Amino acid sequence: MTLLETLAFPVLFIWFVGLLLTFFRRDLEPHWKFFFFLVFCFYLVQFFPEFWLGVTRWKENPKGEVLQWISAMGNSIYVFLFFLWPLVLIRIYYSASNNLSKTLIPALAYGTVLYWALFFLWTLYSKEFNEWLHQIFANK
């Protein structure tokens, strides 16, 4: 199963919740809300087969699906950081405001180091951590 197949259902579900919350914002203009809805619909149609597979897996084994989501989120953050770092470095160079650089640099640097530390602990103690997760989710 690919990363996209694993994460399509939880990402689109969270996106739907966020979309509903933006509909209740009074300070957003209606055309932006409509645009957000169109973007969501585009991705829902684009990834509907993966989304529907996630729904059926969730119905069959919700606890096992949550375990797959946890693992897939770690992998997706790894890929996201791979794409994010070069874009942020270019953005920092072209930034006219020093405030953006002063907030973005530490947030991205500390976030990456935290991810690497958690990833290192995951690889070092993956057997124990997986057993602990299975005790929590699978055996209850």
Residue where a domain stops, chosen among 37, 60, 83? 60
Query: Whole-angstrom Cα distance, residue 110 to residue 108?
Result: 6
Where does residue 58 rank: exposed (0-12), middle (13-18), buried (19+ CB within 10 A)? Answer: middle
Contact 122, 129 (CB under 8 A): yes
Residues 6+ positions from 7 with CB-CB distance below 8 Å: 69, 72, 73, 76
The answer on 87 and 32 residing in a single domain is no
Question: Which pLDDT belongs to residue 110?
Answer: 95
- Residue corresponding to tokens 């405030």: 99
Mean pLDDT split into 10-residue runs, the chain, 140 residues: 90 95 92 96 96 95 85 87 90 79 88 91 81 72
Three-point CA angle 88, 94, 97, nearest 5°: 95
Residues 66 and 119 in one domain: yes
Position 139 scores a pLDDT of 61
CB count within 10 Å of CB 36 equals: 16
Let me know whether 56 and 76 are in one domain.
Answer: no
Q: Are residues 24 and 78 in the same domain?
A: no
- What is residue 58's predicted lDDT score, i.e. its pLDDT? 93
Of 15, 35, 60, the one marking the end of a domain is 60
Same-domain status, 54 and 81: no
Last residue of a domain, one of 60, 77, 100: 60
Contact 50, 125 (CB under 8 A): no
- Indicate whether 41 and 67 sit together in one domain: no
Q: Number of folded domains in the chain?
A: 2
| Residues 91 and 78 grouped into a single domain | yes
> The tokens of 93 are what?
């160079």
Domain residues for 39?
1-60
pTM value? Answer: 0.73
